[in-house]
Amino acid sequence: MAEAPVLEDTERTTGRVALRKNIAAAMALSGAVRSTLGPKGLDKLLLDDEGRTLVTNDGVTVLETARVEHPVARMLIDASSAQDRAARDGTTSAVVIAAELLRNAWHLVLQGVHPSTIVRGYRIAEIEAMTHLESIAFEGNEDDLVTAVRSSLAGKASRGVQTRLADLAMEAARCVERTVDGTHEVDPTRVSKIIAVGRPATDSEIVEGLVLQKRRAHPEMIRLVENDTIALLDGALERRNMRGDVTFQATSPDVLEALRRREISRLLEDVEAVAAAGVKVLAVSGAIDDEAHRRLLDLEIQAFRRVPSNDLDLLALATGATVLHHVDALRAEACGTVLESRSHLIGDLHHWTVRGEGTAATLIARGSGDEIAEETSRCFDDALGVAAHLRKDRRLLVGGGASHVHLARHLRRVAEATPGREQLAIEAFADALEVIPRALAENAGLDPIDALLDVTAAQAEADDGGARIGLHLDKREPTDLGEAGVLEPLSVIKPTVSGATEAACAVLRIDDVLWARLEAQIPDDIQAQLDAMGGQDD
Ligand code: ADP
Ligand code: MG
């Protein structure tokens, strides 16, 4: 049959061949990040076009940086990014579980189970999984929450830095906690960060309020203002330049001088307007001309120039002021209140610390060099994301594969009670979840099969159901990981399982792939694994 002309430049694969290739892509992708999973996971060195390097063991960073063109691989990367947005953690787990769900689905397809039956079975398993995870979760106390934040940094910084950042993240989350219209809100965007090089990362700290790397517009300006009025201007205090294509013919030097005086007096009028509104602290995004800051100095107004617009927004949140675009709009209602506005030195750099009624906090990320301080700041971001979630939902699960093994055991019982071929899919789903403890063991240099068998047996023998028993990667034996301090938010684990299911089911539903250009490369080792799995192109 002739292909429609529109498909002339495309390569087309359908049915089983398409599925097989798509699953190969998913596995190749998961293979790229699986070795980073867990505290013993290895780092990846990423190199970009311009030769810049980044060492990371964060799954989503690896995937988002890699230039992957395969559409199915992109679906998994999107699942990982969605996980990052939703929970700030669990990005590697989401991809690894999704790929494993697909690999197990392929085995079923080879046995003659239709992909849509598998999708139905996976959906049943997912719903069961959500309920079961909730049933084994527990409310954490304050210490547990800090422990869970620290677990989320596993493999990321040194032990000392992890502990420090976990404490700081919880402190910052507390600082920006508030109740809006009856709902409890923790907004991580209210936490800003500055980098200060020169001291170890463990000396990083949280300051309540907003700290900006800024000096006063004039060194003689007042240093400390307390309980007074602030105005924010997204504009400048400078002489207005003539704009447009105007030709100006001055007939005498006096005309020019008069013009200059007029400009200055207009500028000073603006300054007087600021003072008349009772403003004692002023931040502007543009410049402040000499004449203006001299007058500001006389009026005892503390002023800061060239404050970036996004910092003005943060100042607005912290002080309740509105960002104005012109002095003419300045009214008392547009002003905010500072409890404290202090200009001071951190190290040998000038900083401006502002505390207002609004919630805000600033991390001072330290490190002996730029790279370390930047890395401290990146790790803090992740920790803060997790901390913010935990202040809203304190439910925790035990990590290190303990919850995954428990869930897999539960699902196998569910499978037994499910009629039809969906039963096979639910079993395949249970097997797929065990990829987490297997990969954790593998990355720690343990035998994954023995490790999994040991944990499963230890859980089955435990009187309480064994949901806390997982593999201790140092002791190398099944242990109560809750006591060992490996805790994870329920709000991280749940979306890894549901996101992975969604991505896997979306791939299973594809049975026709039209390639506009060349097919993406499948690495040789993955191709070899696939060939070993059987089911050659028919
Ligand atoms: P992800 O991107 O999925 O968060 P990570 O590399 O952060 O990947 O690894 C998270 C996994 O490591 C989780 O399953 C977590 O329970 C596990 N984990 C963290 N700390 C430990 C530990 N000390 N012992 C065993 N497992 C741990
Ligand atoms: Mg993690």
Q: What is the DSSP string of 368-408?
A: SSHHHHHHHHHHHHHHHHHHHHHHH--EEEETTTHHHHHHH
Determine the average pLDDT of the residues in 263-267. 89
According to the model, what pLDDT value does residue 95 have?
A: 94
Determine the average pLDDT of the residues in 223-252. 81
58 part of the active site: yes
Which residues 6+ apart lie within 8 Å of 330 measured at CB? 231, 233, 273, 274, 277, 279, 324
Q: In this structure, which residue's CA is closest to atom 4 in ligand 1?
A: 90
Judged against a pLDDT cut of 70, whether residue 5 lies above it is answered with no
Q: In this structure, which residue's CA is closest to atom 14 in ligand 1?
A: 400
The preferred substitution site among 151, 468, 479, 490 for testing ligand 1, maximizing ligand atoms within 8 Å of CB, is 151
Which tokens belong to 289?
């001309």
CA nearest neighbour of 383 among 198, 161, 60, 53: 161
496 part of the active site: no
Catalytic one of 13, 36, 61, 92: 92
Sequence letter at residue 489? P
Q: What is the pTM of this model?
A: 0.81
According to the model, what pLDDT value does residue 243 have?
A: 56
User: How does pLDDT run across 130-182, given as a tens digit for each residue?
Assistant: 999 999 999 999 999 999 999 998 878 788 899 999 999 999 999 888 888 88
* Residue 38 CA, ligand 2 centroid: distance in Å: 7
According to the model, what pLDDT value does residue 516 have?
A: 59
Ligand nearest to the CA of 39: 1
Catalytic one of 91, 117, 147, 501: 91
Contact predicate 285/308, CB 8 Å: yes
Sequence letter at residue 6? V
**Pocket lining: 444 vs ligand 1, CB cutoff 6 Å:** no
According to the model, what pLDDT value does residue 1 have?
A: 45
Strands 191-197 vs 224-233: parallel, antiparallel or unpaired? unpaired
Which tokens belong to 41?
């996971």
**Pocket lining: 535 vs ligand 1, CB cutoff 6 Å:** no
Q: In this structure, which residue's CA is closest to atom 10 in ligand 1?
A: 38
* Residue 204 CA, ligand 2 centroid: distance in Å: 21
According to the model, what pLDDT value does residue 21 have?
A: 83
**pLDDT band (50, 70, 90) for residue 460:** very high
DSSP calls for 213-268: S---SSTTS-SEEEEEEEEEESS-BSPPPP-SS-----SSHHHHHHHHHHHHHHHH
User: How does pLDDT run across 302-325, given as a tens digit for each residue?
Assistant: 999 999 999 999 999 999 999 999
Judged against a pLDDT cut of 60, whether residue 517 lies above it is answered with no
**Pocket lining: 440 vs ligand 1, CB cutoff 6 Å:** yes
According to the model, what pLDDT value does residue 15 have?
A: 74
Strands 469-472 vs 477-480: parallel, antiparallel or unpaired? antiparallel
Cα distance between residue 287 and residue 233, in whole Å: 11
Which residues 6+ apart lie within 8 Å of 137 measured at CB? 395, 396, 397, 490
CA nearest neighbour of 285 among 301, 304, 263: 304
Neighbours of 256 (CB within 10 A): 12
User: How does pLDDT run across 56-87, given as a tens digit for each residue?
Assistant: 777 777 777 777 677 888 888 888 899 988 88
**Pocket lining: 41 vs ligand 1, CB cutoff 6 Å:** yes
According to the model, what pLDDT value does residue 49 have?
A: 74
**Pocket lining: 495 vs ligand 1, CB cutoff 6 Å:** no
Catalytic one of 13, 36, 58, 84: 58
3-state secondary structure of 280: coil
**pLDDT band (50, 70, 90) for residue 44:** confident
**pLDDT band (50, 70, 90) for residue 427:** very high
Q: What is the mean pLDDT of the chain?
A: 88
User: How does pLDDT run across 121-130, given as a tens digit for each residue?
Assistant: 999 999 999 9
163 phi and psi angles, rounded to 5 deg: -60, -45
**pLDDT band (50, 70, 90) for residue 8:** low
* Residues in the chain, overall count: 538
Judged against a pLDDT cut of 70, whether residue 197 lies above it is answered with yes
Cα distance between residue 364 and residue 377, in whole Å: 8
Q: Which residue has the higher pLDDT, 292 or 32?
A: 292
Which residues 6+ apart lie within 8 Å of 437 measured at CB? 400, 401, 404, 405, 448, 451, 452, 455, 470, 471
Determine the average pLDDT of the residues in 265-272. 91
Which tokens belong to 518?
């060349």
Please state, for a pLDDT cut of 70, what percent of the chain lies above it.
Answer: 91
Contact predicate 395/138, CB 8 Å: yes
Contact predicate 169/153, CB 8 Å: no
Contact predicate 414/117, CB 8 Å: no
The preferred substitution site among 30, 37, 58 for testing ligand 1, maximizing ligand atoms within 8 Å of CB, is 37
Cα distance between residue 397 and residue 12, in whole Å: 45
Which tokens belong to 233?
């201007």
User: What region, left, alpha or beta, does residue 181 occupy, with left being phi > 0 and alpha being psi -120 to 50 degrees?
Assistant: left
Sequence letter at residue 61? T
Catalytic one of 84, 89, 311, 382: 382
Contact predicate 482/406, CB 8 Å: no
Please name the residue that has the structure tokens 């070993």: 532
According to the model, what pLDDT value does residue 3 have?
A: 46
User: How does pLDDT run across 275-306, given as a tens digit for each residue?
Assistant: 999 999 999 999 999 989 899 999 999 999 99
Q: In this structure, which residue's CA is closest to atom 26 in ligand 1?
A: 400
Cα distance between residue 451 and residue 476, in whole Å: 8
**Pocket lining: 192 vs ligand 1, CB cutoff 6 Å:** no
**Pocket lining: 60 vs ligand 1, CB cutoff 6 Å:** no
DSSP-H helix ranges across 277-325: 290-298, 309-319
Contact predicate 495/441, CB 8 Å: no
Please name the residue that has the structure tokens 């009670």: 417
Which residues 6+ apart lie within 8 Å of 19 measured at CB? 106, 109, 115, 507, 508, 510, 511
